[in-house]
Structure 1
Amino acid sequence: MSYHFTKKRPSKIFKIEKFNRQMLNKNGLIFTNEAFFQAETLTSLAWKHSLEVLFTYFSGIKACK
């Protein structure tokens, strides 16, 4: 029996993950997957809160006019 293996090109997602890992290592921040997910979640929550505050602020301005 003989087997022929071809080396698959890495997917785009794999390349992005590899790039992200390299950037994190360069910045001196080495996260585990869980810690990185938690940090990402906190960032998205902060953005969501900021957008809600801005929306409320601009809605108040429009109501006053």
Structure 2
Amino acid sequence: MLTQKTKDIVKATAPVLAQHGHAIIQHFYKRMFQAHPELKNIFNMAHQERGEQQQALARAVYAYAAN
């Protein structure tokens, strides 16, 4: 269970995620695949190239933070 302080911190990130979430997630995937290229075989790289996976994760992270 999250503490109220943790919930408040997560909720406070929502405006940043709304504005910069896609860029943050793009950076996340870039770093992840650079550090762990073996993970590429478990992701749909066509979705990565088209940005679909990044958009989906950015929306999910924002929705979590906003609610």
Q: Which interval holds the TM-score relative to the shorter structure?
A: 0.3 to 0.5
The structure whose residues are more often helix, as a share, is 2
Bigger radius of gyration:
1
Structure with more contact order per residue of length (Cα contacts < 8 Å, sep ≥ 6): 2
Q: TM-score, normalised by structure 2?
A: 0.37
Q: TM-score, normalised by structure 1?
A: 0.38
